[in-house]
Amino acid sequence: MTLMKIVLQLALLVAIAFSIPVPRTEVGQFGIGSRVDGDYRLPNNTAPLQYNITLVPYIVVGNFTFDGTVDILLQVLEATSTITLHTNALTYNESLTKLVNQNGSSINVTSHTYDTAEQFLIIGVASQLSIGNYTLSFTYVGVLDSDMYGFYRSSYTNASGDTVWLATTQFEPTSARRAFPCYDEPALKATFAISIKHEPELHALSNMPINYTYEDSTDGKIWTVFETTPIMPTYLVAFVVSDFIAIKSDDETYNVWTKPPAIDQAQYVFDIGRIELAELENYTNISYMLPKMDQISIPDFSAGAMENWGLVTYRESMFLYEENVSTLSTKRSIATVISHEFGHQWFGNLVSPAWWKYLWLNEGFATYFQYYTTDVAEDNWRLMEQFVVVAQQATAFVSDASATSHPMNQDVASPSEISAIFDNISYRKAACVIRMMSHFLTEEVFKAGLTKYLNKMAYSAATSDDLFEALDEAESEAYILPTLVYVSDIMETWVEQMGYPVVTVTRNYTTGTTEITQARFLLGDADSSDTHDYKWWIPINWAVQSSPDFSSTVAADWIRSQDESIIISSFNASGWVIFNKQQTGYYRVNYDDTNWGMIANYLNSDDYLAIHVLNRAALIDDALNLARANLLSYSVVLDVTLYLQREVDYVPWYAAFTGLSYLHRVFANTDEYESFRTYFAFLTSNVFETVGIEESSDDEHMTTLNRINVINYACNFGLQSCRSSAEEKLINWLDNSTVNPIAPNLLTNTICAGLRGANSTTWNRALNKYLTTESSTEKTALLAGLGCSENESIINNWMSAIINSTTGLTTSTSSSAFIYVYQGSPYNVDRAFDFLVDNVNDIVSYFGSNSTVQTFLTGTAYRMTTQTQLDKLNAFITAQSAILGTAAATAIEYAESNIAWNTAYEEEVRTWLVATLAELEATATETYETTTFEEDYDDSSAATASLNFCAALLIFVCLVQTN
C-alpha cells in the first residue's frame, strides 16, 4: 500500500471518528431528498418528525371505508408559506385541518390545493412560517378498495361458507399516501404512533407491540393503541385488522398469523423463520432492532411478500406449507422469501435508500440473503449454487443483455417510473454484483464492511457511495485491492452503467501469452443512439488443466475500465484454461476455438468432475448464449454439449435446460428438428436413468429438483423410457390415485409427459379427472397436461371443447387451456394457429374481447420458425387487422426473429447433428451387434417423419419415442 493511499484512508477514518460531514447528494441532516428529479419530488423546506395516526376501518358493518385522523409533527427548515405532502384517494374535511406552532398557537390555514398529477396536497397559510417545529392535523375518509394497494380489504371463506373480511396494507413504494397524508419518500423518515378502532371479535396488528387496548364507550368497539415505532420511512408502516390466529413463541415476540383454517400450515414458516432471523443477526453482527416480529399471510396480496418492519406480510402461496401435499418448490419459495424479507429488516428498514434511485441497496441485498441465509438454514439445499444458475444465468444475464436494460443506480421520478424498476436489475443483477463483491473482497472483509455500513447509517438513508465508503474502510484494514484502487472506483462501473461484459480470452500457443479483452454482451442489436463506451473494472481469476483449483475466488488480476486489453503469460499450451472460477464475476467468458476444444475434450473424459460444478454450468450457459449472440460457432457449442451424456448434477443440467429451451424453440418444425430431438434425448438418457421417475425418501434435495426438470425435458425431447414410464405412472394414478399416488413435486410433469403420446382413452380419462376432482392442485396439473398431447385429433377436439360453453370451463380457465396447447409441444403450434385462424370470431365471442385473441396470436407467433408459418401469419393479420391491433406487429417481430436465426444458423446446426448422429450410430454399431426395437406409436406426422431415421440409430433408437 502506498503512502498516498494510507494518508487518504487515515483521513477517511478521522472523518468518521469525528463525525465530519461528507458532502452527498440527496441526503442531508434529516435525510431530506432535494427535488432534483422533477415535480414528483417533494420540496425540501419541511420534514416530518412524528405521525400520530388514528384509523377506524368499516369492514364488518359498513361500506368498506375508513375514517382517519393524523397529527404530523414537522419541522420547517426554511421560511415558507406552504407545506407540501403526498395524498392519493383521500377525502378531507378541510374545516378540521389545523396547524399549530411549538407554543400551541394556532396558525390560519388559508387553502388546500390538490395536485392530482403529482399526488400533492399543498397547505397554504396566511403568512410565512419561520424555521421551527409545527403540528399539522387532518381529518379525512379513505376507501378500503380491493386493488391490493394502500389500506385495502381482503377476504377468505370460512368453514361455514361465509365470507370473512379483513383490512390490510401494501404501501411500497408510493401507496402510504392512500392511507394517510404524509411525506411519502424513503429518506423522509419519522416515528409513527398508531391507534386503530375495530370490532371486538377482530384484533389489530401493526409494526410495534400493542401498548394497551380499551373499549370505546360510544359503540362498544375496541381501540388498539400501539407503541411508537423507531424512525422509519412511510412505505414500511403496516397494519392489519382481522380475525386471524397465531402460532406464538413463549414470550410472544415472534409470531406467525394466518386465517384460522390454515394455521396448521404455518408451522414451517414459524420454524424456519426463527433460524433465518438469527443467522442474519449473526452475519451482520447487529441484533434485530424491534421488540417483536410478526408474520402474516394475506389472502389477496399483490406482491410475493412485503418487509414492513416488525409485521411482514405474505401472499398465502408464499406462506402456507403442508407436508406431503405441498411441493418442494413451494417449500423452497417459502424459505427464501422469508430470508428475503428478513434481510430487508437491515437492508431497507434499518438503512433505507436516500431515493428510489438506490432501490438496489434494498432489493439486491435482500435477494442475495434470500439465497445465502436459506443456504445456512437448509444446508443440504445448495442454495448458493442454485443462485448462480437461477438468479444469475437464467434471469439477470438475460434481462441485462438487452439494449433496453438500465443501470442499478437508475434515476426515477414518477410513481410509475419507481414501480418499473422493481425488476430483475434491482433484484437479481444487484444480488449478483453483491456476490461478486463478497468474493473479490473476501467474505470476511465484505461482512466487516457491511457491519460498518449498517452501524454508520442506522435509522438514516443511504446512497451507494455510503456503502462503498464503508467497504473501503474495511478493505483498507486488509489490503485486498491493488494500491490506490478503491471499492468505489470498481463499483461505479457496475452501478452507473447498464449491461455486463463478455471477457474474451485469446491464447498464443507458441509464446504462451494470453490476451484478454472486454466488450459489452448483448443479445440483439445495440441502441444506435447509445454512444456510451461500456467498460468495467473486472476481477479475473483462472484455473488450469494441469492444476484445476477452483477454490480461491479472489481476483488474481484486474481488467481496468481504461484497459483495451491485458496480457497474461505462462499458461501451458497443452492444457485448457478456464476463467471466472465458480462464476463469481458478473460476466461471461469466451475463448479461442482451440481452448474451447480442449475444454470440450476434457469434459468428455472421465476427469470432467475436476472442473467445478458451477464452472461446468457456466461453460454450458456461456457457450449457448455466446452462439446466440453470434460470438461463437454452434459447432463449437454443440461439441461442448456432448459431455452432458455424462452429467447427472442438477446445476449444469439446469443451465443446459435453460439454454437448450431457446434452441429447442427456434429449431422446432425445421427440416432437421427430429434429429435435434433425437440428439438431446440421447443426452438426457443417462441422467434420466440416474434420477428415475419415482421419488424416494432418501433423495437429496437437488436430486428431487433435478428429477422434475429431467422428466419435463427428456419426455419433451422424446426419450422413450421417460415417456413410457410417465404414461404407466399416469394410468396407475387415474386407476386409483390413493393407492398409486404421484409425488406432489412430479404431478404436473408426470401428467404432461404421460399424455404426450397417450391414446384418446387415456386422454379422456384425464379430462374426466379434471372435471370431477375437488383438488385445486390436481386441476391445475391436469389442465396443463391436457395440452401436452401430440396427437392431432385429440388436440383439435380439445381446442373445440375449450371454447364450448357446455364443457364447463370458465373463460379464465379456457384461456389457460388454450395457452397450454401451444406451449405444450412444438407440434401443436401450427394446430393452435390454424384453429385460431378458422375460429377467430367464435373465440372473440366466447371470451368477449379481442385481447385474448391477441394473446393467442403473439403466443403462437413466438414459436413460429418457418417462412411458411410467417406467410400464414401475415395473411391472417391482413384479414383480421381490426381485431389484432398492435399485437400484430409484435407477432411478426417474434416470427421474423426466429426465422432470422434459422437463416443464419440452421445449416451449421443441421450439419453438426447429421455428422454427430452418424458417428454415434457407428459407435453403437461397433458396440452392439444386434438391437431390438419395438415401437408403439401414433400415426402422427411427427412419428412418420422420424421413424426411418430413428430405426437407423440402433442403440439410441430404443431410447427415443417418435410420437
Cross-strand bridge partners of residue 559: 538
Q: How many Å apart are CA 796 and CA 808, to the nearest integer?
A: 18
Helix axes 430-440, 487-495, angle to 10 degrees: 160
Instruction: Write the single-letter amino acid at 768.
Output: N
Q: How many Å apart are CA 391 and CA 527, to the nearest integer?
A: 25
Q: Are 963 and 942 in contact (CB under 8 A)?
A: yes
Q: Pick from 129, 140, 338, 151: which is nearest to 254 by CA?
A: 338
CA 466 to chain centre: 26
Instruction: Write the single-letter amino acid at 489.
Output: D
Which residue shows C-alpha cell 448422429? Answer: 917
Any idea how long the chain is? 963
Q: How many Å apart are CA 634 and CA 596, to the nearest integer?
A: 12
Q: Pick from 777, 718, 763: which is nearest to 958 by CA?
A: 718
Q: How many CB atoms lie within 10 A of CB 517?
A: 16
Q: How many Å apart are CA 749 and CA 739, to the nearest integer?
A: 19
Q: Is 341 a catalytic residue?
A: yes
H/E run at residue 113: strand 109-115
Residue partners of 834: CB distance under 8 A and separation at least 6: none
Phi-psi group of 962: left, alpha or beta (phi > 0 → left; psi -120 to 50 → alpha; rest → beta): alpha
CA distances from 952 to 502, 675, 922 (A): 41, 12, 10
Cis, peptide link before residue 173, omega less than 30° from 0: yes
Phi-psi group of 262: left, alpha or beta (phi > 0 → left; psi -120 to 50 → alpha; rest → beta): alpha
Q: Pick from 371, 362, 209, 207: which is nearest to 279 by CA?
A: 371
Residue in 341, 378, 385, 647 annotated catalytic = 341
- Cross-sheet strand order for the sheet of 305-306: 245-248, 254-258, 293-298, 311-315, 305-306
DSSP 385: H
DSSP 609: G
Which residue shows C-alpha cell 502506498? Answer: 2
- Cross-sheet strand order for the sheet of 120-129: 80-86, 120-129, 109-115
Q: Pick from 611, 674, 604: which is nearest to 644 by CA?
A: 604
Residue partners of 313: CB distance under 8 A and separation at least 6: 168, 169, 170, 238, 240, 295, 296, 297, 298, 301, 305, 306
Q: How many CB atoms lie within 10 A of CB 210?
A: 14
Q: Pick from 460, 462, 459, 461: which is nearest to 230 by CA?
A: 459
Q: How many Å apart are CA 167 and CA 205, to the nearest integer?
A: 11
- C-alpha cell read off for 834: 390454424
Which residue shows C-alpha cell 377468505? Answer: 156
Q: Pick from 250, 267, 147: which is nearest to 258 by CA?
A: 267
Apex 910 CA angle, 903 and 930, nearest 5: 165
Phi-psi group of 835: left, alpha or beta (phi > 0 → left; psi -120 to 50 → alpha; rest → beta): alpha
Residue partners of 217: CB distance under 8 A and separation at least 6: none
Q: Are 205 and 296 in contact (CB under 8 A)?
A: yes
The four Cα atoms 17, 23, 28, 34 give a dihedral, to 10 degrees, of -170
Catalytic site residues? 341
